[in-house]
Each structure stands twice: as C-alpha cells, then as structure tokens.
Structure 1
Amino acid sequence: MVLEEISTSLIMWFFYALIPSFLTDGVVVLPAPQNLSVHSTNMKHLFRWSPVIVPEEPIYYSVEYQGEYESLYRSHVWIPSSWCSLTKDPKCDVTDDITASVLYNLRVRASLGSQTSAWSTLKQPFNRNSTILTPPWMAVTKDGFHLVIELEDLGPQFEFRVAYWRSEPGTKEHIKVVRSRGIPVHLETMEPGATYCVKAQTFVKIIGRHSAFNKAECVEVQGETLPLALALFAFVVFMLILVVVPLSIWKMGQLLRYSCCPVVVLPDTLKITSSPQKLISCRREEVDTCATAVLPSEELFRVWI
C-alpha cells in the first residue's frame, strides 16, 4: 500500500513537472528540434535534426540560412531555404542554398497547426570546404585495342584525374584530366598481349581539394605480339618493294617512251656527206643533177625499199 502511494506520487510529480514545458497560458508549446548537424559528401549538403514527437499530430519543419554576406552586409537577415519550407522530413538538402566557400549559419523550427517552436541554430557554422570527397565509381573496358573508362556524373563542379599504365615493372603512369560526365572516354591504344591498369580520383577546383584514388582496375588485351621471324620477313618484303617498285616504274617509262615515240635512224643515203655549202650553191634547175650526182641509183632504190 505504501509502495503504491509512493509510485502514484512520483508519477504525478513527473506529470506536473512536464506541464510548464508544454503549457503557456493554456497553449501547447512545441519543443525546438535538437541534435542539429550537417552531413556533406561530394558537395551534397544535408542538414539534419532529431524529430519532434507529438502523438498523432503531423509536425512540419522550416529551415533558414544566413551566409557571410547576410551576416555582414544585411543586418543578420535569415533567408528561407529553397526546398525546406514546411517539410515533414527531419532533414533538408541545402546544397542549392550554399553557393560560396564561406561560413553559413543554419536554423530550424517545428510547426503544429498555428503553433511554432523556437528556432534551433547549428552550433558551429558550416563551410562547404569541409565536404568529404570520395573516390569515384568507374568502369574500365576495352573496345578492340582501345582502353576506355566511364566515370560517374557527380555534377558540373567535379573533374577527375585518371592514372593509367601498362602493368610491367618500371612502366610510367600517365595522367589524364577527364571532365566528361557519364560518357566513355578513350585513354590509349593498347598493345596485344599486354595488361593495362587504371585508377581515378575526384577533384573540385572551387575548393581546391581532391579525394583519394580508388582501387585500380586492370584489363588484358587478347592476342600475341608478332614473332621475330615474321617481323624480319615483313622487313625484307618492305625493302624489296622499296627497290622493285621504283625500278619497275622506270622500266615501264622506258618501254612507253620507245613504243610511242621511237627514234628514227636516217639511212646512209640521206646523210649529207658533202659540204653543205656545195648543196646551197647549186642552182634550182640543177637540183636534180646534184641529187643524181650525190645519190647513186642503188642508194635511191634502197631508200625507196
């Protein structure tokens, strides 16, 4: 009996102790949200808090922010968040609200009907420079003898540093900056029978930070390199072609020249054996006599034949 009275007294005392926190002039006062924090990964900023519990009643939340400009030049004005006005979820994506690498104050309050709670403000201002950058997802493939990489699309602020190399002792890594988002990118033409490895990291220029490299992925190119004997044979054939082709072209030119434009050899009878001055000195009427004297009949017959 005594224990029951003690228990009843404790319950009543606890109940009366809670009344001032929920009643002010007969009106229910909502407690302010607690445990405020910002989780930022890959430049995506999520503002969170513990939900306010009222049995069988829907609670809504409103979020406001204050950047360096509002704090210094606009008399500490608070601006409502773009996406979190009377939201039911105890979280808010403030990525679009935080547009500069400066300190931002964030606050939230709860609403129940016409009643609102007090504002709860983030204890430490948030700067997007503190975001956590994770290694990117990537897919390394081969298209014939082409080494191809595809990277996830993290947004316009991101670019990727891709390192690739031939998997052999002493080989040098090649670095390529990739800004393409979600589109396959060609890295290098691979040699048959070789293995190539690729790794990548994210980089955000506006905050001057980069992630760690992800785990390297390797692909092997099928096929064998040309044997030494085959390579030597190919070299000999090339040299023969280099010599034979110009020689053949020169020979064909000679054949065409003498076939189309042969050299005419004058017979001995048409060759001038006497002095040209003697032939010129002959009168026109004595041409036949001169010709007969120079060219015997046997020579003329041979020329006609």
Structure 2
Amino acid sequence: MVLRQFLNAMGRVMFTSVFLVSTSGRGLERLPKPKNVFVNSTNMRHILRWSPVRFPLGGITYSVQFQGEFERHHKKTWVVISECSRITETWCDVTADISSDVDYDLKVRSQFENITSKWANLSKLFNRRESNLRTPRLTVNVRGGSLTLDVSEISKNIHARIYYWEKGAEQQILNISMDHNPFNVNLRRGITYCFQAQLYISGYNKSSYPSDPICETVNKDAARPAEYFQHSLLLLLFNGTIRKNDL
C-alpha cells in the first residue's frame, strides 16, 4: 500500500514536470480555460456558471472576478470575489456583487496548484434587468371568514399582484398588490372566489406568468373578526366601489 502511494505520488510529480516543460516556450496555455461561461439569472438571483475543465491529474479549482461600469471605465480594474476563489464548484453566486442596474463583465479561470489558465469572460455583458421571473406558487388558506394568501419568491425587489374574482364572473377581475407574506383579505361570505398570483419588478416593466387559478369558498357561518369592517372598507376604496365623500 505504501509503495503504491509512493509510485502514484512520483507519477504525479513526473507528469506535472513533463506538463510544465511541454507547455513552456511554445505559447500554449498551461491549463485549458473554462468554456461556456454565462449567467443564469432567475428571480433576481444571479449565478455564474461554466463547463468543468478536464485535466488528467484532477484537483482543478476556479476563481471568479467581476467588473462593473465604474471599474471598467474609470478604475480599469477587476474585483476579486473572495467567496469564489479557489473553489471546486463550476458555479458562483454573484447576486451580492451585481448590485446596480449597469452592465457587468465576469470572468473565471482554472487553476492546478500554481498553474493557472487564461481568463474566460462572458460572451456579452450582463445586466440584472435581464433576470427572468419564475411563475410563483400561490397558497390560499381559509380561516373563518378570511382568506390568507401566501406567494413564493416575494423579496425586497420582487412584488406580487393578486388577481381575484367571483367564480363564474371572470369579467369582474379585481387586483391587489403585495410585498410581504402572508396577506389577509376578507370577502363576501358564502361566495367562491378564484385567485391568481403574478410576480413583477417595479420599474423594470417585467412580469412573470400568472399561477394557476385556485378557487376557495369563504365560510359564511364563521364569526366576522373585528377588523373585517375596516379591511373591507379599504378594499372598497381601493377598487373604486365607494368614494371618500360617500362616507
């Protein structure tokens, strides 16, 4: 066992030495650089991805740097992403680094011990406005005389529109906006309402596909909570059913 480990180690050293000699003085890359570098961005989470580099000895690591508009045009520098330095994964979460609505360049290189490849850049600059919005998951819970709505993927930058209507009266669709979960709404009792949710980013003119409709009936026998009247009044004002002057 010890002899086998020794021979493997010697073979590794000899291969590395031959590799260094064969790639020096001939203008060849010491290591292949990563390929297929792109940003996969969904719901404002930005993941830089690339294809793995194949190397006989294995043990390849990767390092990532980024360049925003300021670094590109003024400082002429690149910023090291410390949490994505010498990593073994073929992806890096760059969400925290893509912090404004400007164009970003990102690059990644491979490394084996002290041997590094050339940098591989994005084929085109990335702007977080390009982020795709996934169809949200809507959960509707009936509690007494009220409905609780919960929409997945709501965050600081992503809000939701809720569309609802009385079942069978789809032409009378109303909508409300929400930026937090859960959202409680009180509606007419004994009526079946249908709901859909859609994500949107304010200022981007970007929306997701709406979720599948969910229909629920409000329990008409449950006691109405004290806040029902205030909330219903706000909904009526919001939808223009009544005016402040009518109060």
- TM-score when normalising by structure 1: 0.61
Mapped partners of 1:177, 1:96: distance in 2 = 26
Q: Give the whole-Å Cα distance in 1 for the aligned partners of 2:170 and 2:200.
A: 27
Partner residue in 2 for 1:37: 38
SS of the counterpart of 1:87?
coil
Cα pair distance change 1:132/1:120, threshold 3 Å: same
Identity of aligned residues (%): 31
1:4 corresponds in structure 2 to none
Aligned to 2:50: 49
Name the CA distance, whole Å, in 2 between partners of 1:170 and 1:119.
55
1:152 CA drift (Å): 1.9
Shift of 1:220: 2.2
Partner of 2:187: 189
Write the distance in 1 (CA, Å) between the matches of 2:143 and 2:24: 72
- Over 3 Å counting, the alpha-carbon distance change for 1:142 and 1:22 in structure 2 is farther
Counterparts of 1:103-252 in structure 2 under 5 Å? 103-169=103-169, 172-180=172-180, 183-192=181-190, 194-221=191-218
Q: CA deviation at 1:56?
A: 3.8
| Aligned positions, number | 202
Distance 1:21 1:124, change over 3 A: farther
Supply the AA of the counterpart residue of 2:157.
Q
Within 2, Cα distance between the matches of 1:137 and 1:208? Answer: 21
Please give the residue correspondences for 1:280-291 in structure 2 after superposition, counting only pairs within 5 Å: none
Quick one: distance in 2 between partners of 1:115 and 1:109?
A: 11
**Equivalent position amino acid for 2:31 in 1:** L
Q: Which runs of 5+ in 1 are unaligned?
A: 1-18, 225-305
Contact 2:155 2:179 in 1 (8 A): no
Distance across 2 between alignment mates of 1:65 and 1:72: 13
- Choose 20-29 or 43-52, whichever is displaced more: 20-29
Corresponding residue of 2:9: none
Query: Is the aligned partner of 1:77 residue 2:74?
Result: no
Q: Give the secondary structure class of the aligned counterpart of 2:212.
A: coil
**Separation in 2, partners of 1:153, 1:117:** 38
- Which of the two has higher C-alpha Rg? 1
SS of 1:203 mapped into structure 2: strand
Cα deviation, 1:91-113, whole Å, max 9, x if unaligned, reads 11111110111111111101111
The answer on whether the counterparts of 2:154 and 2:179 sit within 8 Å (CA) in structure 1 is no
RMSD of aligned alpha carbons: 2.4
Deviation string 1:211-231 (CA, Å, 9 cap, x unpaired) is 12111110124569xxxxxxx
Equivalent position of 1:250 in the other structure:
none
Once the two structures are TM-superposed, the CA of residue 55 in structure 1 deviates from its matched residue by: 2.7
Which residue in 2 is equivalent to 1:60?
61
Residue 87 (structure 1) aligns with: 87
How far the C-alpha of 1:51 sits from its partner, in A, is 0.8
- Specify which structure has the higher proportion of helix: 1
Tell me which residue corresponds to 1:24. 24
Give the Å deviation of 1:138: 1.4
* Contact 1:21 1:29 survives alignment (8 Å): no
Secondary structure at the counterpart of residue 73 of structure 2: helix
**Pairwise CA distance, 1:20:** 9.9
Q: C-alpha offsets along residues 61-117 of structure 1, whole Å, 9 cap, x if unaligned?
A: 01011111111121x211112431111001111111101111111111011111111
Instruction: For 1:60, give the aligned amino acid.
Output: T
Segments of 4+ moved more than 4 angstroms = 19-22, 25-28
2:97 alignment partner in structure 1: 97
Query: What secondary structure does 1:83 align onto?
Result: helix
Q: d(CA) in 2 for partners of 1:106 and 1:170? A: 47
- Structure 2's unaligned 5+ residue stretches are 1-18, 222-247
Alpha-carbon offset, residue 195 of structure 1: 0.8
Instruction: Name the TM-score, length of structure 2 as normaliser.
Output: 0.75
After the TM superposition, which of the residue ranges 89-98 and 168-177 deviates more from structure 2?
Answer: 168-177
Which is worse superposed, 21-30 or 38-47?
A: 21-30
